[in-house]
Structure 1
Amino acid sequence: MITPGLFYLIGALLLLLPIREKMTYILAILMTTAALMMTFYLVPGDRVQLEFLNYTLTPVKVDRISKLTGLIFTFGGLGSVIYCFRICSRANLRLIFIFIGSALTVAFSGDLFTLYVFWELMTISSSFLIIMASDGTKKTGYYYFLIQVAGGLSALWGVFLQYAATGDLALKTIEAGIPFFMIAVAIKLAFVGFHTWLPLAYGKAPFYVAVVLSIYTTKVGVYVMSRLLPGIDILAYAGLFSALFGIGMALLQTQVRRFLSYSIIIQVGYMIIGISMGTVAGITGAMFHLVNHILYKTVLFMAVGVVVYTTGKDDFENLGIMGRKLPVTSIATLVAFLGIAGVPFFNGYMSKAIIKDAVNEPLLTWGLNLMSFGTCLLFLKFIYYAFLKKSTISLDKQPALSMQVGMGLLTVMMLVIGIHPVWLESVTNMDVAIHYFDKKHLVSGIQPFLWSIAIFILIKKYVVKNYEAPLPYDLYRQIAKQVVTTGYQLSNYHDGKLTKYLLWTTSTLIILLALLLF
């Protein structure tokens, strides 16, 4: 047995061969399909162990959660690779394969060493994807890389502390180094305060790169949180705060990809709350929401990518091209909108219903309803610009067939899960014993949506207002500027003059002596 991620990693190597463009597509389809099929037939309970430098490692471990995550990662990988066929260079396709393969390997890792190695390989491959896109994205790629490396170093320090305390590298609930793992996961989740890389990277990277990143980066953070940090009550309230922050920031955006980036923070809030419950129902609901979120958010990024591809821009004003010129994109967008809004019989409804059932705290229940209302209100703005507002935007070119096929594949899966949600349970044997379409859940699912329509009509002129993009305050950039300034000032003292060096040395010795004496 091997990890399905190996198919993607081997595929990346095969793409180095000097083969024709048509063969590149065939190879990509074969590898992505093979990974999906292998994941489907994995049996929970299977594992692979090996000895490495006197450590017992488990590079592959299968259970119901890892299989569920692997299935959506491989299915999303198939859809996104098809989407990228005609618009992505072979070099970038290789990096995409490495990135997806690394994410899949993390999902099936059974020890902290394997997780950390491929966690960092995700960072390296995705950073190069952004940096190599164009000269205009190099700074963005460097910024993204530095933030992700900071999270990786925090995770590494957590691994050291966990091993020192337990003598074990097994992937399980953490006993030591919890603050460091929390920082690492918070960066990957784009938790408020650690989120600055998300709208920057997704907003400036090529749209097909944003599609791929939206599937894996934050979702790997969710998966790792479910493994290492379940049941920490305070994180549920932190997740609620982060989601409400995402709603406020999304409202102010004029660029659609930044808007979608902040809405990721909202949806991740649901997952944080579910995992923080620490119950089977809460964690299962969070992981089902991870599946649903990957489907509808990826479709939305793909739809915006089609707008960018055909018009050259991704402002809200350009969305009007959907309703008039792009029928396939329009249908996919509407299905994704109803899914993210949690409307009954669409996929987001089932996972939100499970999470709401798992939460017993009144404040969190109120917060979940507010998050649902805010999400619906925000995306009514999206739908208004796409289908209701008059637009004079014209098509510069038609979308590639591969883009529509990739988007359509994920849209069909959304419809299947929405209409028959127990299918997702049967595939993974994760029974949550919930009646999805009883009166209680139907009312809970439709109320935020109906309220948001009424409120949107009342305050439409404020919601669709062209807000001036707020000047972002980035603490990390300010810290970097201070470090650079301080370093520059200190460098002025290193001028090669012996008397100054002797003064530095003498002063340091006096200070050390004083510390020793007192």
Structure 2
Amino acid sequence: MMTPGFLYMTGALLLFLPLNNKTRYLLSILITAGALMVTFSLHPGDRLQLDFLKYTLIPLEVDPISKLTGLVFAVGGVAAVTYSNFISAFGSLRLIFVFIGSALTVVFSGDLFTLYIFWELMTISSSLLIITANDETKRTGYYYFLMHLAGSLCLLWGIFIQYSATGRLSLNAIEAGIPFFIIAIAVKLAFVGFHTWMPLVYSKAPFYVAVVLSIYTTKVGVYVMSVLVPDIHWLAYAGLISALFGIIMALRQTQIRKLLSYSIIIQVGYMIIGISVGTTEGTTGAVFHLVNHILYKTVLFMAAGVVIYTTGKDHLENLGVLGRRLPITSVATWIAFLGIAGVPFFNGYMSKTIIKEAIQEPLLTWGLNVMSFGTCLLFLKFMYYAFFKGRTIPLQKKPTISMQAGLVFLTLMMIVVGIHPTVLENVTSMTVDIHYFDTKHMVSGVQPFLWSIPFFILFKQYFLKDPKRLPYFDIYPIIGNVFVFIGYKLSHYHDGNLNRYWLWATTTLIILWLLMI
């Protein structure tokens, strides 16, 4: 019995061997397939315990939620590695393996120490993946690293407070340090106010890097939230506010990957609401939505990557190649669009239905309807450019077979979940007493989509215009400049005078002692 993430770690080491492209491709596929099989073979209740110094660590603990999350992470790993195999450099592929392995290990972690180590390894590997991609992404990678490092430090401080208060490293009994855990998760979730890294990174990093990040980064945040800080009711309203912000910003975008990035904030809002309502049904719906979101959002990022790869452009108008020159990508995009819109018989419908059933408060119910309506408008804009308004431009090159294979693999998964929504329940013991295809739920699922069509037709001129200046304000560079300025000024006092240093240290100790009295 082993954590499937360790297979990816082993794969990262094996990729240091001098291999040709075909051998590398075969090895990569074998490792991802092996990790998927290992994850599938795990059963709720499986547990691996190790003694480290005076602590008891649990690098592997399986329950229904971690089993389902781990499975979709492993499926996403197969698709992402297949998609990027022949278009990424050796070094990037090794970092992708470390990143995916770390995410899988976080999901199956049974203690705070293990969770923190691999949470931090996710940050390091993904930051290096961005920084080393090319010269243009270095600054973006540093920004991403600093944002996530701040989140990791909050997580570490929360762990210190929790352990000091309880003497336990268990994941399921968080009693102290909750504000620090929430901030750490908020950074990973790209919650409004902590979101600035995501549209920046996803739009500037290589498209295959954006595909991998879109699968794991925010979803790890959702999973850890469901484990560490569930049932905090006010977070449901915070999730609603974050989602509404995502709708407004996404509708204003003209760059493909920025539009998709802000739409992630909307879908994460569904998951936050489901986890925060404090019911088993809500948590189940949130986890199922995590699965569905990985499927359809990854397909959309892959489709955007195909457009960028074949045209060299990253603008909505260049989506026109989907409807005219890329039939496989076009079909996958349509299925993903109907899934994210929550249309019956497509995968997003089932998880949105569960979350709606779990909500009993009118304001949250209204919010979910607005979120569904806004999501439909957003992707009508996407599809309008792809199949009606987009320019027909010549392809510079054709997408690789591996890119199309990754798309097809996830599209088939979406179709299966959409037609047989109980398949996710059958994989684990997470069951919901809902008749998905009764009239009430189907009408509720299709209404936002139907209403959005005439609304989009009437007001599309406001959604399609290219704004000269988008409202954008990022406070974090300002904070960083303030710290640099203060540090520069203080550096003048570090002149090697030992007596001055002793005076500072003694004064600080006296002040701390007075505060403790």
Q: TM-score range by the shorter chain?
A: over 0.9
Show the 5 A alignment for 1:129-148.
Answer: 129-148=129-148
In the alignment, the residues of structure 2 paired with residue 301 and residue 2 of structure 1 have an alpha-carbon distance, to the nearest angstrom, of 31
Return the letter of the residue paired with 1:216: Y
Q: Which digits, 9 at most, give the CA deviation of each residue in 1:464-508, with x for residues without a partner?
A: 111234252111111111122223333445578x8xx979969x9
Aligned to 1:63: 63
In the alignment, the residues of structure 1 paired with residue 472 and residue 434 of structure 2 have an alpha-carbon distance, to the nearest angstrom, of 43
Show the 5 A alignment for 1:171-186.
Answer: 171-186=171-186
Residues 252 and 469 of structure 1 are in contact (CA less than 8 Å); yes or no, is this contact kept in structure 2? Answer: no
Return the letter of the residue paired with 2:227: R
| Residue 127 (1) aligns with residue 127 (2) | yes
Aligned to 1:212: 212
Aligned to 1:282: 282
Cα separation, partners in 2 of 1:200 and 1:173, compared to 1, 3 Å: farther
Show the 5 A alignment for 1:246-265.
Answer: 246-265=246-265
Return the letter of the residue paired with 2:54: N
| Residue 9 (1) aligns with residue 9 (2) | yes
Q: What is the CA distance between 1:167 and its match in structure 2?
A: 1.3
| Residue 46 (1) aligns with residue 31 (2) | no
Show the 5 A alignment for 1:360-399.
Answer: 360-399=360-399
Aligned to 2:428: 428
Return the letter of the residue paired with 2:45: G
3-state secondary structure, aligned to 1:58: strand
Residues 475-484 or 131-140, more deviating: 475-484
Aligned to 1:77: 77
In the alignment, the residues of structure 1 paired with residue 363 and residue 381 of structure 2 have an alpha-carbon distance, to the nearest angstrom, of 27
Cα separation, partners in 2 of 1:333 and 1:19, compared to 1, 3 Å: same
In the alignment, the residues of structure 2 paired with residue 86 and residue 503 of structure 1 have an alpha-carbon distance, to the nearest angstrom, of 56
3-state secondary structure, aligned to 1:16: coil
Residues 34-43 or 403-412, more deviating: 34-43
Deviation >3 Å, runs of 4+: 489-496, 501-506, 508-513, 515-518
In the alignment, the residues of structure 1 paired with residue 508 and residue 413 of structure 2 have an alpha-carbon distance, to the nearest angstrom, of 71
Cα separation, partners in 2 of 1:161 and 1:12, compared to 1, 3 Å: same
Residues 254 and 469 of structure 1 are in contact (CA less than 8 Å); yes or no, is this contact kept in structure 2? Answer: no
The size of the alignment, in residue pairs, is 515
In the alignment, the residues of structure 2 paired with residue 421 and residue 309 of structure 1 have an alpha-carbon distance, to the nearest angstrom, of 34
Cα separation, partners in 2 of 1:481 and 1:416, compared to 1, 3 Å: same
Aligned to 2:227: 227
Aligned to 2:478: 478
Aligned to 2:356: 356
Q: Which digits, 9 at most, give the CA deviation of each residue in 1:66-90, with x for residues without a partner?
A: 0000100000000010000110111
Residues 158 and 177 of structure 2 are in contact (CA less than 8 Å); yes or no, is this contact kept in structure 1? Answer: yes
Return the letter of the residue paired with 2:86: R
In the alignment, the residues of structure 1 paired with residue 502 and residue 9 of structure 2 have an alpha-carbon distance, to the nearest angstrom, of 52
Q: What is the CA distance between 1:512 and its match in structure 2?
A: 6.9
Return the letter of the residue paired with 2:99: F
Q: What is the CA distance between 1:393 and its match in structure 2?
A: 1.9
Q: Which digits, 9 at most, give the CA deviation of each residue in 1:173-205, with x for residues without a partner?
A: 411100000000000000000111111111110
| Residue 462 (1) aligns with residue 445 (2) | no
Q: What is the CA distance between 1:30 and its match in structure 2?
A: 0.6
In the alignment, the residues of structure 2 paired with residue 502 and residue 125 of structure 1 have an alpha-carbon distance, to the nearest angstrom, of 41
Cα separation, partners in 2 of 1:35 and 1:503, compared to 1, 3 Å: closer
Aligned to 1:450: 450
3-state secondary structure, aligned to 2:395: coil
In the alignment, the residues of structure 1 paired with residue 464 and residue 109 of structure 2 have an alpha-carbon distance, to the nearest angstrom, of 45
In the alignment, the residues of structure 1 paired with residue 331 and residue 197 of structure 2 have an alpha-carbon distance, to the nearest angstrom, of 31
In the alignment, the residues of structure 1 paired with residue 173 and residue 286 of structure 2 have an alpha-carbon distance, to the nearest angstrom, of 17
Residues 173 and 230 of structure 1 are in contact (CA less than 8 Å); yes or no, is this contact kept in structure 2? Answer: no
Aligned to 1:419: 419
In the alignment, the residues of structure 1 paired with residue 482 and residue 102 of structure 2 have an alpha-carbon distance, to the nearest angstrom, of 35
Residues 173 and 227 of structure 1 are in contact (CA less than 8 Å); yes or no, is this contact kept in structure 2? Answer: no
Return the letter of the residue paired with 2:278: G
In the alignment, the residues of structure 1 paired with residue 147 and residue 28 of structure 2 have an alpha-carbon distance, to the nearest angstrom, of 31
3-state secondary structure, aligned to 2:60: strand
Cα separation, partners in 2 of 1:456 and 1:511, compared to 1, 3 Å: same
In the alignment, the residues of structure 1 paired with residue 72 and residue 327 of structure 2 have an alpha-carbon distance, to the nearest angstrom, of 26
Q: Which digits, 9 at most, give the CA deviation of each residue in 1:196-250, with x for residues without a partner?
A: 1111111110000000000000000000000011111000000000000000111
Q: Which digits, 9 at most, give the CA deviation of each residue in 1:122-181, with x for residues without a partner?
A: 000000000000111001001100111111110011111111111111111411100000
Aligned to 1:341: 341
RMSD: 2.1
3-state secondary structure, aligned to 1:49: strand
Aligned to 2:410: 410
Cα separation, partners in 2 of 1:505 and 1:21, compared to 1, 3 Å: same
Aligned to 1:316: 316
Residues 36 and 71 of structure 1 are in contact (CA less than 8 Å); yes or no, is this contact kept in structure 2? Answer: yes
Show the 5 A alignment for 1:183-202.
Answer: 183-202=183-202
Give the % identical residues: 68
Residues 253 and 469 of structure 1 are in contact (CA less than 8 Å); yes or no, is this contact kept in structure 2? Answer: no
Aligned to 1:272: 272
In the alignment, the residues of structure 1 paired with residue 12 and residue 394 of structure 2 have an alpha-carbon distance, to the nearest angstrom, of 37
Aligned to 1:114: 114
3-state secondary structure, aligned to 1:48: strand
Residues 5 and 103 of structure 1 are in contact (CA less than 8 Å); yes or no, is this contact kept in structure 2? Answer: yes
Cα separation, partners in 2 of 1:469 and 1:40, compared to 1, 3 Å: farther
In the alignment, the residues of structure 2 paired with residue 322 and residue 247 of structure 1 have an alpha-carbon distance, to the nearest angstrom, of 24
Cα separation, partners in 2 of 1:85 and 1:256, compared to 1, 3 Å: same
Q: Which digits, 9 at most, give the CA deviation of each residue in 1:389-440, with x for residues without a partner?
A: 1514221111111000001100000010001101111111211110000111
Return the letter of the residue paired with 2:320: G
Cα separation, partners in 2 of 1:291 and 1:504, compared to 1, 3 Å: same
Aligned to 1:306: 306
3-state secondary structure, aligned to 1:227: helix
3-state secondary structure, aligned to 1:191: coil
Gaps spanning 5+ residues in structure 2: where?
none
Residues 316 and 390 of structure 2 are in contact (CA less than 8 Å); yes or no, is this contact kept in structure 1? Answer: no
Q: What is the CA distance between 1:57 and its match in structure 2?
A: 1.1
Residues 320 and 389 of structure 1 are in contact (CA less than 8 Å); yes or no, is this contact kept in structure 2? Answer: yes
3-state secondary structure, aligned to 1:146: helix
Residues 384 and 390 of structure 2 are in contact (CA less than 8 Å); yes or no, is this contact kept in structure 1? Answer: no
Aligned to 1:23: 23
State the TM-score, normalized to the length of structure 2: 0.96
Residues 199 and 258 of structure 1 are in contact (CA less than 8 Å); yes or no, is this contact kept in structure 2? Answer: yes
Return the letter of the residue paired with 1:345: F
Gaps spanning 5+ residues in structure 1: where?
none
Q: Which digits, 9 at most, give the CA deviation of each residue in 1:357-404, with x for residues without a partner?
A: 000010000000000000000110000000011514221111111000
In the alignment, the residues of structure 2 paired with residue 381 and residue 503 of structure 1 have an alpha-carbon distance, to the nearest angstrom, of 62
Q: Which digits, 9 at most, give the CA deviation of each residue in 1:247-299, with x for residues without a partner?
A: 01111212110110000000000000000012110000000000000000000
Residues 73-82 or 157-166, more deviating: 157-166
